[in-house]
Structure 1
Amino acid sequence: MKTAPAFKSLRRLALLVGGAVLAGGLGAPLAALAADNWPSRPVVIVSPYPPGGTNDTVARAVADRLQQIFGQPFVVENRPGASGIVGTTSVIRAAADGYTLLSANNGALIVQSVVKSPSPYDPARDLTAIAKFAEAPNFIGVSAALPVNNVAELIALAKRDPGKLNYGSSGSGSFGNFSGELFKVSTGIDIVHVPFRGSAAAVTDLAAGRIDAMFDPLVVPQAGGGKVKVLASLTHKRTAGQPDIPTVKEAGGPDFELKGWFGLFAPKGLPKEVLDKLAAASEKIAADPEVKALLTRAGLEPTLTGPAAFADLVGKDLVRYADIKQRAKIEHVE
């Protein structure tokens, strides 16, 4: 017996309506149940840099404490490449279910999104900010052979011979490059940028007297050898870890600040229930004396910023770094 076309159409419509009811009626409760039960399996925290660096140190400290708090494995996976872009992009493309997180810094997120052409992502749009755990103060270091002992003398020397002095960084478009260019436009001096392949190579040449200056945290441990002079911190206040080093303003320069930061993120669309759990856990982690000590030993300043304020910081940093790039005429990096 053949089914009438009209009956077939009605049956098809009924199936479609029924499916929509099931999807609307059960989909939301199931998603909410999954969020309530999070984490029910291992969680991956992506670090977009190789093992052993500062970002990796922060990621593993956070992962260890999250595992203790939630009783599920939190596994750090290093996915390096393209100055942090490879690992960051992998998290942006992951499901927003709380089982793939990102431990990253403003170098990978802010700087790379501003200097790359085309921009690989927009961290304010593509990621959910969970917590900022630490800041990394930056410092001005000069070769011991340079005849200056404070920022005022460095500025005066640079103004006497425009274009003669130089500074090194870990590469074009790096955090050190932005720091140096901001210093230049803030002081009205002309010093030449020398990009290296990594901060370690640059600070080696600084200690050897082959370059004149650097804007990098690595200059601090070099000062003990007598071949590098640390002139100031790029901060409004003296840092807790290096209280004897004056600020730029105290050393005779303009009052400005440019710090690195390290935080935890998730793909955009993370359920509120999961975000709330991670935010509460982040408060416990930030209050842990062992975590504070570990971050301090890594040259960082422990400080907690929650989801809303952290998201606001990311948005403001994007605007600020884009402004620095435009004012300093920092070129796009392909």
Structure 2
Amino acid sequence: MSAACYAAGGFSDQASRIIAEAMSRNLGQTIVIENRAGGGGRIGSEAVTKMAPDGYQLLMTTNGTKTYMAVVEKSLSYDPVTDFTPISLVGKYGLLMVVNPSVPAKNLPEFLTYARDNKGKINYATSGMGSGLHFAGELFNAMGKIDMVHVPYKGSGPGMQDVLAGVCQVIFDGAAKPQIDAGKVRLLGTTSSVRDPRYPDMPTISEGGLTGYDLTYWVGIFAPKGLPPEIQARLNASVKTALADADVQRKLNGMGMTLVGSTPEQMVQEIRTETAKLRQIAASIPGGVN
């Protein structure tokens, strides 16, 4: 069995390997991670649509290839729902909203006041136009009635470097833990609807003042279209068994992920609901997301 559509070593790849190892044990079947990186996960997703629906070829991916691409890409070669067989959600995680220490705000309410008094003077870095970081910032702008300036980079790494340098003041970044723990940036909130397990005392952005704010990433497992229902059910049960493993929980929680597990039907509803929400956000972004 094989799965994965992102480069080796990244967040999604690490999560894939943790789940694959646990599923291998409970299925009695070796799962080999085959990294088909490129195109933000599109290449791996496209490859799976051409594979046999026999249960031996799986796709572990994020909502980036399912909902964000459906909104951002003008021509997507696959349908995020109908060209795949859903297996199960694995977990959800949010981005960490951090600021350069020079920003005179110790918490989110103070930042909102500061930002409203300094409209157009605060830069926020992202990993590019139409990225999840971009959506996070523009949703924050809209709900907070503020006007942070979007500065896109070719990846969140370069964006974080300019936040550290003070060129930008804000970034929404799921990989900011090292900088937070080193005191190089200040954490003000998390973008998902539940608190980050690594920072249980840090309120979400919704709790901190923007009630209803929620921009959550998720990881899920899919198979090619046409997978027999009995194989789909067996794989779904395998994922749930893996997520019940204490070691899996410890490792994924340590990455900031809240474990979910779901029915295939819940996955489809998640995709449809989130895509509609992202289309609304995209429509409100000045200049669009393409």
TM-score (norm 1): 0.82
Query: 1:44 matched to which residue of 2?
Result: 2
Between the aligned partners of 1:75 and 1:125, the Cα distance in structure 2 is 25
Of the three residues 48, 53, 59, the one matched with 2:16 is 59
The residue number in structure 2 matching 1:136 is: 93
SS in 2 for 1:124: coil
1:202 aligns with 2:159: yes
SS at structure 2 position matched to 1:284: helix
For 2:101 and 2:279, the matched residues in 1 are separated by: 33
1 or 2, which has the higher helix percentage? Answer: 1
Deviations 1:266-292 (A, max 9, x none): 112211011011011111111011111
Aligned-partner Cα distance in 2 for 1:327–1:86: 29
Q: For the Cα contact (< 8 Å) 2:197–2:254, is it kept in 1?
A: no
Whole-Å separation in 2 of the counterparts to 1:219 and 1:210: 17
Residue equivalent to 2:125: 168
| 8 Å Cα contact 2:122-2:169 kept in structure 1 | yes
Structure of greater Rg: 1
Task: Name which of 258, 262, 267 aligns with 1:301.
Answer: 258
1:239 to 184, 192, 196: 196
Question: Aligned-pair distance for 1:329?
Answer: 4.2
Correspondent of 1:286 among 212, 237, 243: 243
Secondary structure of the residue aligned to 1:100 is: coil
Amino acid of the structure 1 residue aligned with 2:22: R
State the partner residue of 2:226. Answer: 269
Distance 1:330 1:308 in 2: 35
Q: Superposed, which structure 2 residues align to 1:251-270 within 5 Å? A: 251-270=208-227
The answer to whether the 8 Å contact 2:197/2:253 transfers is: no
- Unaligned segments of structure 2, at least 5 residues: none
Q: How does 1:45-194 map to 2 (within 5 A)?
A: 45=3, 47-194=4-151
Higher relative contact order (Cα pairs below 8 Å, separated by 6+ residues): 2
CA RMSD, aligned part only? Answer: 1.7
Structure 1 counterpart SS, 2:213: coil
CA distance in 2, matches of 1:305, 1:329: 36
Identity percentage of aligned residues: 33
Length, aligned pairs only: 290
Shift of 1:328: 2.2
Gaps of 5+ in 1: 1-42
Equivalent residues of 1:113, 1:121 under 8 A apart? no
- Give the Cα separation in 2 of the matches to 1:250 and 1:84: 32
Tell me the TM-score normalized by structure 2: 0.94
Q: CA deviation at 1:183?
A: 0.7
Q: Distance in 1 between matches of 2:233 and 2:219?
A: 19
Q: Which range is displaced more, 66-75 or 168-177?
A: 66-75
